[in-house]
Amino acid sequence: MFVAPEIDYLALLPLIVVFAGGLIGCLLEGFLKRQQRVSAQLWLTIGTLVVALVTLIWVARDNQGITAAGAVTVDGPTLMIQGLLLVLSILGVLVMSERLGGTTPDAFTQSGVSVPGSAEEADAVRLGGTTTEIYPLTLLAIGGMMLFPAANDLILMFIALEILSLPLYILSGLARRRRLLSQEAALKYFLLGAFSSAFFLFGAVLLYGYSGSMRLDVIAEAIGTQTGMDGLLIPGILLLATGLLFKVGAVPFHSWTPDVYQGAPTPVTGFMAACTKVAAFGAMLRLFYVGVEAARLDWQPILAVVAAITMVVGAVVSIVQTDIKRILAYSSIAHAGFILTGLLAMEQVGASSTMFYLAAYGFMTVPAFALVALVRSAGSEATHVNQWSGLGKRSPWMAAAFSFLLLAFAGIPLTSGFTGKFAVFAAAIANDYAWLAVIGVLASAVTAYIYFKVIVTLYFGETRTDTVVVTPSALTTFAVVCGVLVTLGLGVAPAPVLDLAANAAQFLR
Amino acid sequence: MSDMPWLTILLAVPALGALALVLMPRGFARSREFALGVSLVTLAIALFVGLEFIVGNGHVQLQETYSWIPQFGVSFALGVDGIALSMILLSVILVPICLIAAWDDVPSDGTRRQQGYVAWILLLEAMMIGVFAATDVFLFYVFFEAMLVPVYFLIGQYGGPERAAAATKFLLYSLLGGLIMLVAVIGLYVAGPGGSEGFLLENLTGLEIGGVTEKLLFLGFFIAFAIKAPMFPVHTWLPQAATEARPSTAVLLVGVLDKVGTFGMLRYCLQLFPEASKWATPLVLVLAVISIIYGALLAIGQKDMMRLIAFTSISHFGFIVLGIFAMTTISQTGSTLYMVNHGFTTAALFLIAGMLIARRGSRNIADYGGWQRVTPVIAGTLLVAGLSGLALPGLNAFVSEFMVIVGTFQRYPAAAVLGATGVILAALYILLWYQKIATGPKPENLSTTRDMTVREKFVVVPLIGALLVLGFYPKPVIDMLEPAVTITLQHVGVTDPAPATSADGSEG
């Protein structure tokens, strides 16, 4: 006999709002005229995200619990991660809408399916086709991201993983300029992402075989009582970890990151870099802290090695990069290592420092990529470091904002980057991972070299005249200013957010 | 009045001045005057703080403690003892002098570039006050690292032709040291009592950590300070940075910022890790003596006068470290006094050298000769500053060098004797330099070169005055330093060796 599960709709309201917004967006694509779509989609998306945030704060917070037949958990970490995702996506969507003086979001192609340089594409450009499908795609991706850390069931986690990934694969391929690079990035992301999903699914199956359930709480219980099945447990955990480590771009599953970051439209890169990382680390926290915590002696050393290698590879390889987007990509790899260091500390401080770092990283990443999109040469983005030479003199505010964000990436005190690094390293040292913190600071020193090399180019380089910085629209300006202010605020007065993260670090089991 | 948070105000004034300069509209042509005004206000507040300070008391005074990031155990805690106050006074006196000296370095065209230069200097001043006044280890670390940013831009944006490389090298050395210290800072918190005020210096003093942990934590701090100080063998960033920087930047860099290294050794290494400090003393003394002799030898061979001054500083920092780790009251008092004296002496040397360079357009010593006849006032002041550098009695450096050597001799005679050779070498490099620059026949085609201008006199007079006053009457400064040194030595738990007479008494 089938019994319908009790579903606490109020707890799920933010998710429902976001998915509903995404579906309405799809309908609008079909029914609205071209000229109306741009503003309608933009305001629908922003409105949806704001409403979701409001419901998250006013409704979902008071309805915490495990619901939907144990498949979804709404608890402190879920709410913290979801709230962070919503705020970051608002900024991300604002950046995506940058028109660069034209009438359509300029980073995106009018016709994603066409072959670059083909007659179809020329037609699409001539007709001034709009690129509004990015908005519903983004909303659906955000919905998947919000579901990811809330999933208390491996099947649901897998579904969330796919919901968040598929729109991102498409978005990566929509760059207007350098179409081939973009399509290659999308294909690469899709193929490798499909592999990692398969690993994840295989891991889930092994854990099902071990415990007889996909639910994390049942698996957690089984680890204490089940004996003689360790041959399923540890491979299962590691395969699940593979899927998640791929999403955060940890070594050795990082090789897609630089290519996809470089090929994707820059605003998408910013959104993807910030939000995917937040969602995937949220899911990781739930898997490792709730599901398989009891087996930590088996997986913790392996993950520690992964963290160490990730920091070292991300830092060392970034040195030889000459493309700003690739530099930021390798920096995101190194940052994934730093965040893993915090996650490994376990206990409450591990979760709270991880979430704080995610907030810090997200708020510097979105504006950083937004600024990258503004620097242009002959109509397309100028992402080679040399093309940025001397921008400090000609575009002082842009250069100052980008340099400040680079200081935050480098972890200089009085920026959020420093507070975040301090939080994760302190958590690691207090929990017997001092060696990981030492590797972390050495890697930080290495990454600082490349960040300061960019600052050198910006300020001390010869001025070039062929590179221009486009005056951003009010939307992008708002997003960048917000990001910079949060980056400064989390460096100067981080106490309230640290409190928030600490209070939100209790998992429901 | 004494309830006012004076130290916070002292720190806030230059910081707000820098912020105001950044926010000012383009075309504001009076940014130099504005910055000078702010730095003079800061100086006045600092002098007032000096009056509030009780000189005979070696403890940390004028304390302010506010909760900042309780989750990390971090407080915004300021306070000064005699050593910290003397360093702060040195900073706030040198900043207006440097601003006047740099008056013509950046054109007064009201561009961002000029506003930026003076704004960075004011921000740096705020950070310097903060780093010396912090009584919370985390806060100290924050200032220690954040200070790199203004210096990086001051060198990299406004320096000589090789400035970008010099700035990057400076930054990477300092950042690496700082990050190693970060691990030690966190480790110290874990080893300490923890809690919401777990980084306060007073809560961390007197911990009994012991063993390998203490040695590792000590090394974490010491490496960072040795790079900053700069000690052999991690000094290599300094000559390049000092050469490429503008003279004013070089003064703040070598005269004040590098003192954070030796200040940190006193305040953090000795006070927090006494056992490990004693354990490391032999090695540190060897490195200090090498720094003294090596720096002096390289200074003798220098052809570039900015590099020459940089190498003399490496030698002088060797003396300071020697006195700190000899751990007698006299040697440490001498070292702290030397920190003040070296600031003024180096400032005078760099700024007067800068005046010569501005006139001749070359840093190369061989391009000069006979300038005594061209610019007698500049040459004369250079001689006075140089004689202070070689520690002529009657000038400031003599007192401190003498105290360091005498104090060191009480415990480590061999180190004192070897170190004293540095004094002889100092005579060599200073006098040779002066001889090559100022003596000889009058150079041709230089008859139009102006001697010291009124603005430059404003720069030089206070500096020469300080050299003379501190040379003839150092007592007020020593009175301020000695009680703090005594307390530091109490933390370490060493007493002065018995005076030679009574120790030798039994032998006859």
| Secondary structure letter of residue B5 according to DSSP | -
* pLDDT tops 90 at residue B159: no
The CA distance from B467 to A325, in Å, is 54
Question: Which range, of A315-329, B112-126, B465-479, averages the lowest pLDDT?
Answer: B112-126
Is it the case that residue B368 has pLDDT exceeding 60? yes
* Residue B350 scores a pLDDT above 70: yes
* Residue B166 tokens, joined: 């010099």
| pLDDT > 70: percent of chain B | 94
The β-bridge partners of A469 are A375
- Beta-carbon separation of A422 and B71 below 8 A: no
Q: Tell me: the pLDDT tens digits for A318-363?
A: 999 999 999 999 999 999 999 999 999 888 888 999 999 999 999 9
Q: Give yes or no for residue A39 having a pLDDT over 90.
A: no
A277 has a pLDDT exceeding 60: yes
The pLDDT value recorded for residue B507 is 39
The two three-digit tokens of residue A457, written as one number: 């180019």
Q: Write the residue in A410, A460, A499 that is nearest to B71 by C-beta.
A: A499
DSSP B304: B
Q: Which pLDDT band, with edges at 50, 70 and 90, does A129 fall under?
A: low
Question: What pLDDT, in 10s, does the model give residues B403-455?
Answer: 999 999 988 999 999 988 988 898 888 898 888 888 888 777 666 677 888 88
For residue A375, the surrounding DSSP H or E stretch is strand A375-377
Residue percentage of chain A with pLDDT more than 70: 98
User: What are the residue boundaries of the structural domains of chain B, listed by start?
Assistant: 274-494
Kindly identify which residue of chain A lies nearest to residue B163, measuring between CA atoms: A460
| Cβ-nearest to B183 among A438, A498, A499 | A438
Q: Which amino acid is at A323?
A: D
Q: Do A412 and B180 touch (CB under 8 A)?
A: no
C-alpha A232 chain-centroid distance: 31
Greater confidence, B447 or A143?
A143
Q: How confident is the model at residue A101 (pLDDT cuts 50, 70, 90)?
A: low
Q: Is A460 on the interface with B (CB under 8 A)?
A: yes
A contacts of B72 (beta carbons < 8 Å) = 422-423, 426, 498
**Cβ neighbours for A69, distance < 8 A, ≥ 6 positions apart:** A5, A6
Q: How confident is the model at residue B108 (pLDDT cuts 50, 70, 90)?
A: low
CA distances from B280 to A160, B28, B169, B287, B309 (A): 57, 53, 28, 11, 29
pLDDT of residue B101: 87
For residue A452, give the nearest of B171, B179, B189 by CB distance.
B171
> Does the beta carbon of B171 lie under 8 angstroms from any beta carbon of chain A?
yes
CB contact under 8 A, A445 and B153: no
Q: Cα-flanking dihedrals φ and ψ of residue A473, to 5°? A: -70, 170
Q: Which amino acid is at A423?
A: A
Are B300 and B432 a contacting pair, CB within 8 Å? yes
> Burial, B493: exposed, middle or buried (Cβ in 10 Å; 0-12, 13-18, 19+)?
exposed
How close B84 comes to chain A (CA, Å)?
Answer: 22
Please state, in angstroms and rounded to a whole number, the distance separating the CA atoms of residues B160 and B178: 26
Q: Do A448 and B149 touch (CB under 8 A)?
A: no
State whether residue A488 sits within 8 Å of chain B by CB.
no
**DSSP conformation class of A506:** P
Tell me the chain A residues in contact with residue B175 when contact means C-beta distances shorter than 8 Å.
410, 445, 448
Query: What local confidence, expressed as pLDDT, does residue B504 receive?
Result: 44
Is the model's pLDDT at B234 over the cut of 50?
yes
Spatial contact of A89 and A115, defined as CB atoms under 8 Å apart: no
What mean pLDDT is reported for chain B?
86
Judging contacts by C-beta atoms under 8 Å, the chain A residues touching residue B148 are 412
Look at residue A244 and tell me whether its pLDDT is greater than 70.
yes
CA neighbor of A335 nearest in space, from A236, A265, A394, A254: A254
Retrieve residue B278's tokens: 């004693």
- Is residue B27 predicted with pLDDT exceeding 80? no
Q: Is A499 in contact with B153 (Cβ distance < 8 A)?
A: no
Q: For the segment B165-217, what is each residue's pLDDT rounded down to a tens digit?
A: 888 888 888 888 988 999 999 988 888 887 888 888 888 887 888 788 899 99
Output the average pLDDT for chain A.
Answer: 89
A422 in B contact zone (CB under 8 Å) = yes
* A407 contacts in chain B (CB < 8 Å): 149
pTM attached to this predicted model:
0.91
Average pLDDT of B69-95? 90
- Confidence at residue B367, expressed as pLDDT on a 0 to 100 scale: 82
Task: Kindly write down the DSSP assignment for every residue of B93-151, as one continuous string.
Answer: HHHHHHHHHTTTTS--S--HHHHHHHHHHHHHHHHHHHHHHB-BHHHHHHHHHHTHHHH
pLDDT of residue B376: 85
B78: β partners: B64, B134
Tokens representing A324 are 């700003």
pLDDT of residue B502: 45
Residue A70 structure tokens: 């144990």
Q: Which residues contact A238 (CB under 8 A, 6 or more apart)?
A: A203, A299, A302
> How many C-alpha atoms does B352 have within 13 Å on its Cβ side?
29
Q: Which two tokens stand for residue B132?
A: 């010396």
Among the residue ranges A273-282, B101-110, B269-278, the one predicted with the least confidence is B101-110
Tell me whether B106 touches chain A (CB under 8 Å): no
| B175 in contact with A, Cβ within 8 Å | yes
Residue A468 has pLDDT above 70, yes or no: yes
User: Between A57 and A122, where is the model more confident?
Assistant: A57
Tell whether B431 is within 8 A of chain A (Cβ): no
Residue B150's Cβ-side half-sphere holds a number of Cα atoms within 13 Å equal to: 25
Best of A357, A422, A457 to disrupt the B interface (most B CBs within 10 Å) is A422
The least confident of A276-280, A291-295, A337-341, B401-405 is: A291-295
CB contact, 8 Å: B358 with chain A?
no
* CA triple B197-A427-A287, angle to 5 deg: 140
Encoded tokens for B224: 């960072």
Interval A436-457: pLDDT, tens: 999 999 999 899 889 988 998 8
Average pLDDT over residues A471-475: 87
Q: Chain B contacts of A438, Cβ < 8 Å? A: 183
Residue A149, phi then psi, degrees to nearest 5: -75, -15
Distance from CA of A333 to the nearest CA of B (A): 20
Rg, Å, chain A Cα set = 22
Highest mean pLDDT among A215-229, B358-372, B419-433: B419-433
Question: Rounded CA gap, B110 and A419, in Å?
Answer: 36
Taking contacts as CB-CB distances below 8 angstroms, the residues of chain A near B153 are: 459
